[in-house]
Chains A and B, each alone.
Chain A
Amino acid sequence: MYMSYLNPKRWVHMMGRKKFGEFLVLAAFMLFFYGPLLHMFMLAFANKYEMPGVLPQEFGFQWWRYVLAQPTLVSSIVLSFTIALITTALSLLICIPAAYVLARYEFPGRKLVMFSFLLGNAFPKIGIYASMGIIFYRIGLMGTLPGVLIVHLLGGMMLMIWMPTNAFKSVPRQQEEAARDIGAGPIRTFFYVTLPMAWPGIAVASMFTFIGSLGENQGTLLVGLPNYRTMPVEMYGVILDYPATAGAVFALILLIPNVLLLFLMRKYVGPETLSKGFKMG
């Protein structure tokens, strides 16, 4: 009885032919998009998985135990999170004041400054890292934490300037003026009125910076080795040296913070915040 509701014929009538077509396209897309992810999920919880089988022969946490028992892997996880935290904090410290100035003051070259952050993202990253590497060699930043942090900071720079700039712009000046009028100085006005109102945009940018830093690999590989091996850098080794199941476990660990952050920020992350955040003005 209930099973008959799974009959696609009913769906066509329920949704109409056009809607059903859209549904099929969406379903195909989802399969394409989430299929590999699902497969990875399955792999990560497989104790035994041999080729011809569609499903693993045995489920369990065997590979989780294995991965978490590797000291280099665990330390790379800790390192990645530490670097991501420092990167996010530093870029907030640097970019928020800059974004405020860009949002509130008209000065010659303002557009150019905004545009230059875009240019930085328009070139192939590896070229930029290579030239940075040359400079870093000269000034002794190769293989150092500051060197790695600079690479990570630059990676998130455009986002951290553009989104907060637009977030600050969307705070009506009158609301700041109302605070001044009532007796708050410029600093209090910023912290009690402007910053809280711009917060959604800033939070989303921070989240992406954090996620971006966690996932950064090219630059870290170039500048950080051999001293700083973050998770994504270790990933290369894991894929080469361990069975696919271990790789899946590791990839899932990399994925957890992203999913968690996206879930926590789901209120703020929408097409609207994003499209507003990248307006050039």
Chain B
Amino acid sequence: MSGNAKLEIRDLTMLYKTGDGVRNINLAVEQGELVTLLGPSGCGKTTILRTIGGFLQAASGQILISGKDITHMLPEKRPTAMVFQSYNLWPHMTVYENMAFGLKLRKVPKSEQKRRIAEMLEMIKMSGYEKKYPGQMSGGQQQRIAIGRSLLLQPDVLLLDEPFSALDAKIRSQMREELRKIQTDLNITVVFVTHDQEEAMALSDRIVVMNKGSFEQVGPPQEIYNRPASRYVADFIGEMNFIPMPDGSIKAVRPENVSVSPGTGGNLDGYVRTIMMLGHYIEMTVDTDCGIVKLFVSAEEAEQYKRGNPVALTLGESHRYNDDQSAAG
């Protein structure tokens, strides 16, 4: 990509003794961009993040921040800040001491430390918690402080490794929104790791979908969702019906692109298998000769169907993949 990327990873390989790891990674992240590494457990997301942060040594390749090669720098010298899933805060220090530690090391005057910490606490909505110990706060509050502590040091790149995954769903989505707001307000560059695709969709400028140590597709959420480059991505992101075609290829259609009518004569015919109420819409599965197809209908529409009714399906926007997992058109 362009030479003025904030963070650039060139042909990075990092392998553990066991042979697991990541190979030939290339990525450029622009200033102010939030890029998410998304993939199933064990695909190498944390490995990449820890290599950027300096906690793992690259076997080959380069990592550049603002054009400067940091591949062999010690973690404490790197202009990155990392937030882990948990155990970020030091339990023997108060919130204030936790936040002041990095500033102290940078010899920021006491009065300025105080001012900057107060500002940051305000921004992360944690004013008044200065004297609390981490053990006296909820998981969400602790993660807020951890993120605030990192932001306070104004890192060039903020690295977040599943920072919200230990929190319950409601707090998680709230934290997500707040993070996105702070990130755009401060225009900071973020690499975010998650295995939750919904989180990736909601948060990211661009998503990297990973598979077994390498990149499968890189692009904005819309593009990843609407034009999955491989069957793997199509399967991993959102819900997808895979319908085998007579020529041996596979047709992939999202449930929202399937419409249904009573009777026969559609692209695909079958019988209603289940009708399930999912809040404001209804999920229907249909038994066809080509397997089970999932689709969504509105509540009014659903009233005319019963289990076992014959139905005709019309397939809208679709993708074709060969069985070897590459895109076929």
- Which residues on the B side are within 8 Å of A174 (C-beta)? 84, 86-88
Q: Which of A172, A178, A181, A188 has the most CB of B within 10 A?
A: A181
Pick from A175, A181, A184: contact of B87, CB below 8 A: A175
A177 vs B54: C-alpha distance when bound (angstroms): 10
Q: How far is the CB of A64 from chain B (nearest CB, A)?
A: 42
Q: Taking the complex as formed, is B153 at the interface, i.e. its CB lies under 8 A from any CB of chain A?
A: yes
Which residues of B69-104 have CB atoms within 8 Å of chain A's CB atoms? 74-76, 80-82, 84, 86-92, 101-102
**Given A177-B55, A177-B82, A178-B82: A183 and B88 interface contact (C-beta under 8 Å):** no
Q: Taking the complex as formed, is A180 at the interface, i.e. its CB lies under 8 A from any CB of chain B?
A: yes
* Binding stretch for chain B, among A74-82, A108-116, A127-135, A190-198: A190-198
Let me know if A182 and B53 touch, CB within 8 A: no
- Which residues on the B side are within 8 Å of A185 (C-beta)? 74, 76
**Given A174-B84, A184-B76, A185-B76: A179 and B101 interface contact (C-beta under 8 Å):** yes
**Given A181-B81, A197-B91: A192 and B76 interface contact (C-beta under 8 Å):** no
Let me know if B80 and A181 touch, CB within 8 A: yes
Let me know if B82 and A181 touch, CB within 8 A: yes
Q: Taking the complex as formed, is B106 at the interface, i.e. its CB lies under 8 A from any CB of chain A?
A: yes
A182 vs B97: C-alpha distance when bound (angstroms): 13
- Which residues on the B side are within 8 Å of A179 (C-beta)? 90, 101
Let me know if A180 and B88 touch, CB within 8 A: no
Q: How far is the CB of B18 from chain A (nearest CB, A)?
A: 14
**Given A175-B87, A177-B55: A184 and B101 interface contact (C-beta under 8 Å):** yes
Q: How far is the CB of A202 from chain B (nearest CB, A)?
A: 13
- Which residues on the A side are within 8 Å of B102 (C-beta)? 182-183
A174 vs B55: C-alpha distance when bound (angstroms): 10
Q: Taking the complex as formed, is B149 at the interface, i.e. its CB lies under 8 A from any CB of chain A?
A: yes
Closest chain B residue to A180, Cβ basis: B75
Q: Taking the complex as formed, is B169 at the interface, i.e. its CB lies under 8 A from any CB of chain A?
A: no
- Which residues on the B side are within 8 Å of A196 (C-beta)? 90, 92
Let me know if A177 and B91 touch, CB within 8 A: no
Let me know if A181 and B105 touch, CB within 8 A: no
- Which residues on the A side are within 8 Å of B91 (C-beta)? 175, 197
- Would you give the 0/1 interface string for A249-272, flagging 1 where the beta carbon is closer than 8 Å to chain B? 000000000000000000000000
A197 vs B90: C-alpha distance when bound (angstroms): 8
Which residues of A11-64 have CB atoms within 8 Å of chain B's CB atoms? none
A178 vs B54: C-alpha distance when bound (angstroms): 12
Pick from A175, A180, A193, A197: contact of B76, CB below 8 A: A180
Q: How far is the CB of B265 from chain A (nearest CB, A)?
A: 60
**Given A177-B75, A177-B82: A182 and B101 interface contact (C-beta under 8 Å):** yes
Let me know if B90 and A175 touch, CB within 8 A: yes
Let me know if A183 and B84 touch, CB within 8 A: no
B-binding residues in A (CB < 8 A): 172, 174-175, 177-185, 188, 192-193, 196-197
A-binding residues in B (CB < 8 A): 53-55, 74-76, 80-82, 84, 86-92, 101-102, 105-106, 146, 149-150, 153
Chosen A-B contacts, 15 in total, with CB atoms closer than 8 Å, are A174-B87, A174-B88, A175-B88, A177-B55, A177-B75, A177-B82, A178-B146, A179-B90, A181-B80, A181-B150, A182-B102, A182-B149, A183-B106, A193-B90, A196-B92
Known: A175-B88, A180-B76, A182-B150. 16 other contacts (CB 8 A): A174-B84, A174-B86, A174-B87, A177-B53, A177-B75, A180-B54, A180-B74, A181-B75, A181-B82, A182-B105, A182-B153, A183-B102, A183-B106, A185-B74, A192-B90, A196-B90
